[in-house]
Amino acid sequence: MPLSPIFFKKTKFEVEKVSNASTESDSVTRSDHSIFVRGIRKTYPNGVVANQDVTFSILRGEVHALLGENGAGKTTLVKILSGCLTPDSGEILVNGRSVRIEDPIKAVKLGIGMVHQHFTLIPTFTVAENIALSLSLSGRLNLDAVKGKIKEVSKNLTLEIDPDARIEQLPVGLRQRVEILRLLCQDVDILILDEPTSVLTPLEVEELFKTIRRLKSKGRSVIIITHKVKEALAISDRITIMRGGRVVKTLPTISTNEAELAALVVEGFASSLRVDRGKPGEPVLMVKNLSVKGKRGEMAVKGVDLVLHAGEILGIAGVAGNGQKELVEALTGLRRIESGTSLLKTCDLTNRPPKFIIRKGVSYIPEDRIRRGVVLSMSVSENLALKNFEEQPFSKNMVINRESIDRYASDLISKFGIRASDPCATVSSLSGGNIGKLVVARELSNGANIVVAEQPTAGLDVKASEAVHQKLMELRSKGVAALLISADLDEIIKLSDRIVVMYGGKFVGEFTHDSLDIQKLARLMLGSA
Amino acid sequence: MMEWALILGFIAAGIRTASPLLLASLGETVVQRGGILNLGIEGAMLMGAFSGFMGAYLTGNLWVGLLTSIIAGVLTVLIFGFLVIRINLDQVVSGLAINLLAMGLCLYFFRIAFSQGAFPYLGDLIGPYAIPGLSQIPVLGEVLFNQTVFVYIGLIAVPLIYFLIFKTSFGLRLRSIGEDPVVASYLGINVSRIRYLSLIIEGALVGMAGGLLTISMFNVFDSRIVAARGFVAVSIVILGRWNPWGALGGSLLFGFTEALSLWIGTFLVGPAAPSVSLLLRMLPYVVTILALLVGGRKVRGPAALGSPFSKE
Ligand SMILES: Nc1ncnc2c1ncn2[C@@H]1O[C@H](COP(=O)(O)OP(=O)(O)OP(=O)(O)O)[C@@H](O)[C@H]1O
Ligand SMILES: [Mg+2]
């Protein structure tokens, strides 16, 4: 019997008992918990203790938000619940029974499924093929049956999707929907979503939340990890905060507020960001009539004009997939420019190789940090020096000077608060948010005069996000120009001196910070003026 | 009338020449779909050729030779599999190492088995087998149904492997591993097991392709007998876009080129100019390069092809 949210909000007593981890007694009706874990500890092979003495529970029909700084151990915990990692010690109860979750298949059998921070879809496969992949079918592949199942499940929850669409042709929001559908096709009761909103536009987030509410109304439970306190407040019934591998507190959503949560997430955090405006100077980047083709050969950018001034942050607002990505790739030399020009002061950047563009002082924070931003198997310090290791003092006479690279790295690690066990740790051992911090640290510290920032704070915790915003403004006051592309409209509005709206490969509107009309901006983003 | 027979004979020869390439490229298509680039296929073919020869020579039974060639092929490919899956060595390096190993082993055992200067040969070959009824069909019967068992196996294997790759759950998993083994493992797919299974299939096909050379094509063994057919098979896989039907097309292209070069050498140039006919033998390799230049550009293979994968 699914527990209605109203019911458990009333039983505050029980909820508090659960949250009070250390004095937990067995008298709590365990069968009410879909999952109940106690004393979980996880040490990674490199010795990092990512979870210790973690006690956590999720009720039937509950939406439970998991908050915490980068590297707090959130992903580790949910990976344990979904069978991707095995804990060193601790007890896991599912529906009151003690279980061992050896692998993801076992987890799914127990009704637990997870949508990873980095999607686990095969891009060249269709929706149906991807879903078939995890249904442990055998023998002849019956895709029609799979499609039938998808139709049934998606109709039940009004999650529209074309089963024959190829994943690589779907926007992020829909890919996420496929991930969720896949779990539902496997009859999962407890869905774990690891930072599902970090790359979604506000509209897509709203859509996702609708889905979560519908799931909840059908008695399913959802664990959602997020860095946005507002989101946790909007969607969850209870909130658990983690710090340094431990659970700090679990509390019911109705009894808390944004400031309290922020202070719990980052100990004693209080926003100290002073937002100021820039004083735009000379034009530095002049883009004329730029046209760029997309992945499938379609015109993705259709004759865009853009002028970026020194000491200015220019925000590009738009729903993902309207040419922002191709525009950025063209400017950074990663994609061919079909026609038009890109000029840095007097220097022509059109169709020059990335290295040339980097040397001219254009730095780039890519949205896909893992594939574009770092070399996973190399160390943190090597990654931090990746773009200028050829220069003095990092190397001399073509010989790399390790010491100076390590010193530089240690400096950036402390400045940007990157949580790494040491500068020589491989990047693959960092948490998602810390990989993000690393990329941002490198790109904002190499003396660039233009910064192209794609979702610079996606996946970063409040403190780190603020630090990045602070840094961007600091650079701006020194005359650096920035192009900010973000799904987070709040971020764009907060930082930008000027905002252009991109729709269908064109700029369809422009606002200065003072003349901003949010209603109009939102309409323009959707293509209706 | 005479010319007609000559042309039919040429086509039949082209198909026959294509058969080792077809078997080998089908096997390689399977493993590459699972993300493994096996350049050790050349060595596996050599082992197949040697074992086939030895099996047939020692027992006097060609079918035993077929069996031993299959076993040798599977074993060689499994050694390769052990290196790249279990020990996680680089695929290209392991493949080349397997080729050297195979060459060394064959030379060594051949020398042990036969005294220097001996010239062992098989008294018989697996020849064409006319399928009763079907071989009576005019034209088609001659070129398709009066062939060796290897041609039949290859032709039947094309739709079977197609079915395996595209129409079964095994194939779906295999392809997902070829695209992204990490993701596949997250979904609970046993990457190593599926890769080993695909390698066994390849081993059998490649071993047979090698055995065919000694027990059905030439009746002697020489360490150079494979003559880069394994590498040609790898390029056929690319040319055929990782599709069994494409592999069939590619194999036929090369089979005919090879047959053509022999044919021109024999009938048009003749023994009068041996250097010209030797030069003509290069034709298949030139075609390989040209075909890859034309057809091998802008093709998208399995995304994870050749990249290492280890759990956690
Ligand atoms: N594969 C790994 N090997 C070694 N250490 C790891 C590995 N994955 C994570 N860690 C470490 O474990 C700690 C917790 O990481 P985890 O990914 O759980 O953090 P998180 O709370 O999800 O952070 P984020 O918000 O940045 O995603 C971090 O200090 C991280 O460096
Ligand atoms: Mg994480």
- pLDDT digit string, tens, across residues A110-153: 999 999 878 889 999 999 999 999 887 788 889 999 999 999 99
Decide which of A24 and A241 is more confident: A241
CA of A71 to the centre of ligand 1 (A): 5
| Domain at A283-525: CATH architecture | 3-Layer(aba) Sandwich (3.40)
Q: What percent of chain A has pLDDT over 90?
A: 58
Structure-token match 């005359």, residue found: A479
B 158-197 → A contacts, CB under 8 A: 167-173, 175-176, 179-180, 183-184, 186-189
Structure-token match 């640290």, residue found: A441
Instruction: State pLDDT tens for residues A155-175.
Output: 888 888 999 999 988 888 889
Q: Which of A266, A172, A195 is nearest to A436 (CA)?
A: A195
pLDDT-derived band at A311 (thresholds 50, 70, 90) equals very high
Query: Does the beta carbon of B117 lie under 8 angstroms from any beta carbon of chain A?
Result: no
Asked if B291 and B250 count as a contact pair (C-beta separation under 8 A), the reply is: yes
Average pLDDT rounded to a whole number, residues A514-525: 87
DSSP secondary structure, B83-152, as one string: IIIIS---HHHHHHHHHHHHHHHHHHHHHHHS-TT-----S-----EEPTTGGGSTTHHHHHSEE-HHHH
* ipTM metric: 0.88
Asked if A503 and A524 count as a contact pair (C-beta separation under 8 A), the reply is: yes
Mean of all residue pLDDT scores within chain A: 87
A interface with B, Cβ–Cβ below 8 Å: 45, 84, 103-105, 108, 116, 120-125, 129, 132-134, 136-141
pLDDT-derived band at A22 (thresholds 50, 70, 90) equals very low
Which residues have C-beta within 8 Å of that of residue B69, sequence separation ≥ 6? Answer: B48, B49, B51, B52, B55, B207, B208, B210, B211, B212, B214, B215
User: Cα–Cα distance between A187 and A182 in angstroms, integer?
Assistant: 9
* pTM attached to this predicted model: 0.82
Instruction: Find chain B residues with C-beta within 8 A of A139's C-beta.
Output: 168-169
Measure in Å the smallest separation between the Cα of A417 and chain B Cα atoms.
26
User: A421 pLDDT exceeds 50?
Assistant: yes
Class of domain A21-111+189-257: alpha beta
Which residues have C-beta within 8 Å of that of residue B89, sequence separation ≥ 6? Answer: B83
pLDDT of residue B270: 67
Decide which of A341 and A270 is more confident: A341
Give the residue extent of every domain in chain B.
14-226
User: A178 pLDDT exceeds 90?
Assistant: yes
User: Cα–Cα distance between A304 and B117 in angstroms, integer?
Assistant: 78
pLDDT of residue A32: 62
Burial class, B30, CB count within 10 angstroms (exposed 0-12 / middle 13-18 / buried 19+) = buried
Instruction: State pLDDT tens for residues B111-140.
Output: 999 988 888 999 899 989 988 988 888 888
Q: Identify any residues that bridge with A67 across adjacent strands, giving them in sequence order.
A: A241
Q: Where does ligand 1 bind, in terms of residues with CB under 6 Å?
A: A 44, 46, 48, 50, 68, 70-76, 419, 429-434
User: A31 pLDDT exceeds 80?
Assistant: no
Residue A79 in tokens? 């990976």
Q: Which of A48, A83, A80 is nearest to A66 (CA)?
A: A80
Ligand 1: atom nearest CA of A433 is 26
From the CA of A435, the nearest ligand is: 1
User: Cα–Cα distance between B62 and B211 in angstroms, integer?
Assistant: 10
pLDDT of residue A508: 93
pLDDT of residue A201: 80
Instruction: Find chain B residues with C-beta within 8 A of A136's C-beta.
Output: 188
CA of B150 to the centre of ligand 1 (A): 55
pLDDT-derived band at A342 (thresholds 50, 70, 90) equals very high
User: Cα–Cα distance between B38 and A166 in angstroms, integer?
Assistant: 29
Instruction: State pLDDT tens for residues B182-220.
Output: 899 888 889 999 999 999 999 999 999 999 999 999 999
User: A232 pLDDT exceeds 70?
Assistant: yes
Instruction: State pLDDT tens for residues A448-474.
Output: 899 999 999 988 988 889 889 998 999
Residue A329 in tokens? 């790739």
User: Cα–Cα distance between A35 and B178 in angstroms, integer?
Assistant: 35
Q: Identify any residues that bridge with A81 across adjacent strands, giving them in sequence order.
A: none
Per-residue pLDDT of chain B (312 residues; tens, 9 = 90+): 567 888 888 899 999 999 999 999 999 999 999 999 999 999 999 999 999 999 999 999 999 999 999 999 999 999 999 999 999 999 999 999 999 999 999 999 999 999 888 889 998 999 899 889 888 888 888 888 989 999 999 999 999 999 999 999 999 999 999 999 989 988 888 999 999 999 999 999 999 999 999 999 999 999 999 999 999 999 999 999 999 999 999 999 999 998 888 888 777 776 667 777 778 888 888 888 888 888 777 778 898 998 888 764
Beta pairing class for A190-194 and A112-115: parallel
pLDDT of residue A166: 93
User: A283-525: same fold as A21-111+189-257?
Assistant: yes
Give the residue extent of every domain in chain A.
21-111+189-257, 283-525
Tally of CA atoms within 13 A in the half-sphere of B116 that contains its CB: 0
pLDDT of residue A12: 36
CA B290: distance to chain centroid?
20
